[in-house]
Every structure is written in structure tokens, then in C-alpha cells.
Structure 1
Amino acid sequence: MTRQKSLILLAASGSAALLLGALAFQHLGGLAPCKLCLWQRWPHGAAIGAGVLALVAWPMLMAGLGALAALVTAGLGGYHTGVERGWWPGPSDCSGGPVGGMSSEELFDQIMAAPLVRCDEVPWEMLGLSMASWNMLVSLGLAAIWLMALRTR
């Protein structure tokens, strides 16, 4: 196996590990994902697909797409981290909204429409970082591996 394909396999395997870890937290650990958590999973699936295709054909194109997918999920993880830390607002349908100035009926409607899992709450963290933060950091590392594969011939 060439060095390029080894790097591609490593990067795609990293995305597979992150995706499997997220699914384990959900199905074995009972941590239901929020909307932003789900958004972060799709690019990992694309990176895995790019990795599989790169082993068969078009390694340069697939390495570029894999790098793009890793950067997209890292960006989503960074955005989600900012929402969790209150640096900026998240999507209105999965983050806390204003309460002041609402009638009791409007407040009740907002409570009833609220999602079960909020994007602006951290259900799990390690070393002070949430899963979204870890996804961002590891995905940046995976993007670097994809880019090394892109530069290797």
C-alpha cells in the first residue's frame, strides 16, 4: 500500500472512530444528540465514503474531499462549542430563547415547542472540553492527515 493510501486510510478510520464513538455515547451511554451534534456526524460519513473511494480510484480527488469534510465538521464543532459556551446564539429551535416580556401563554407555547435536547447545554465533558470541542480538535488533526495525503504522491 502506498504512503498516500495509508494516510487516507488513517484519516478515514479516524472519522469512523469519531462517528462510532458518538453513536456509542448515544445508544450505549444514553446521551441523545442535539441538532448540532447530528450535523457534525454527516461530514464524518462523507469522509469515510471518500476514504473508501480513494482506495479504489481517484485518490487525489477523494483526499481533497476528505479534507473538506474534516474541515466542515471541525467548523461545525467550533460553532457548537461557541453555542455551548454562550459566545454566540445557536439555532433558535435548539437553544434557549428570551423569556422577558412574554405572556404566560406565549411562554407555555415556547416551553412546549422546545426540543428535548438543547444545543446550548453540555451533557458530557472531558478535561474541560465538550464532545463538540473534542470533535473540532480531532477533526482538525484529521484534516491535516487528509492534506498530507493530498500532497503525497
Structure 2
Amino acid sequence: MAAPSRLARPTGSMQTIGAAVLLLGSAATVGTALLFEHVGGYIPCALCLQERWPYYVSIVLAAVALVAAAGRAMPWIVRGLLWLIAAAMLVGLCLAIYHAGVEWHFWAGPSGCAAGNADLSGDLLSTIDTIRPPACDTAAGRFLGLSFAGWNVVASLLFAGLAIAAATGRGERRV
């Protein structure tokens, strides 16, 4: 009898815990970015906003993977969802590396990512159409030498690795 394919191998607690950690970690990461924006007053640039999309996708996929793993769905569904999370996080990793490189002036950013010069001291309604996000090549701040984009490189790499480990890990169920 042939061994089951990698996607069809039984799943278990490793996949359930992996999906839960990915769900909580992705939600915490994008939640932190939203807190910095709405509470801390850091206005995200266009690239910052793009870097959030892999997290939004991962939150949904991880929630579905968690329910599927906990509900003992077919293993290929659980493992497939974990692989999709890994792919989303690898896309996020590429976006974060690109953005960090723009901030360090290793390469040019997108042409539509220049700083705005709107004057907010007057009538807000009359200037709302002239407001532009900050430039993508200027880090809003650095912590331990890394900008938000730099920390996103770390987080995306961590979550991609976790998703791959959960997707490929052993998960034999106890009867």
C-alpha cells in the first residue's frame, strides 16, 4: 500500500495549535499597526497599507483552518489552508523587504508614493482632496534599528515559517 501524499497525512494538535497561533499572531500584528495609526497618529504610506493585505487574508484563512483542524476536517483541507497562509506570508515578506529597501534607499519606491504637502491648519473639508499619505522612503520611526517595514520582514518570515512547519508537521490523531 502506498504512503499517503503529504497533504493527505493525518492532522492533529500541531495543525490546530499552528492555526490558532497564526490567527492570533496575524490579528495581533495588523491590530498593532492599526493602533499605531489610529491611536499613535502614525499615518501609513501606500506601501504600509499594501503590507497589511497578507495579514487580512491570513486571518481569514487561519480562522477557517482552526475550525477545520479542530473539527477534524479532511487533512488536505487543513494542510492546504496552512500552505495558503504560508504563501500569503511569503507575499507579505516580499512586500516588506521591498518597502524596507525603499526606506534604506536601496531602490526607488513607486512613483505614487511621494509625500504630500497639505496644510491641515485651515478648513479640513476644503483640503481633504489634497491630503496625501507620507512618503514611502521615509520611515515613521525605528525601534532597535528597524522600521515598521523592517519589523514586518521579521513577522512575515516568522509566520511563513510557522505555517510551513504546521502544514508539513506530523499530526497523527489519537484514537
Aligned to 1:19: 30
Unaligned runs of 5+ in 2: 1-11, 69-76, 116-129
Q: Which has the higher helix share?
A: 1
Whether 1:90 aligns to 2:112 is no
Residue 91 of structure 2 is matched in structure 1 by 72
| 1:8, distance to aligned residue in structure 2 (A) | 1.5
- In structure 1, what is the Cα distance between the partners aligned to 2:131 and 2:109? 13
Percent identity over the alignment is 39
Secondary structure (helix, strand or coil) at the match of 1:129 reads: coil
Equivalent position of 1:100 in the other structure: none
Task: Look up the match of 2:160.
Answer: 143
Asked whether 1:42 is paired with 2:87, we answer no
CA distance in 2, matches of 1:81, 1:6: 31
Q: What is the Cα deviation at residue 93 of structure 1?
A: 0.9
5+ residue gaps, structure 1? 97-112
Alpha-carbon RMSD: 1.8
Please show how residues 23-34 of structure 1 align to structure 2 within 5 Å: 23-34=34-45
Aligned-partner Cα distance in 1 for 2:27–2:16: 16
Asked if 2 retains the 8 angstrom alpha-carbon contact of 1:89 and 1:95, the reply is no
CA deviation vs aligned residue, 1:47-99 (integer Å, no higher than 9, x gap) = 11111111233211110111011111111010000000100000001147xxx
Offset at residue 30 of structure 1 (A): 0.2
Quote the Cα distance in structure 2 between the aligned partners of 1:114 and 1:18.
27
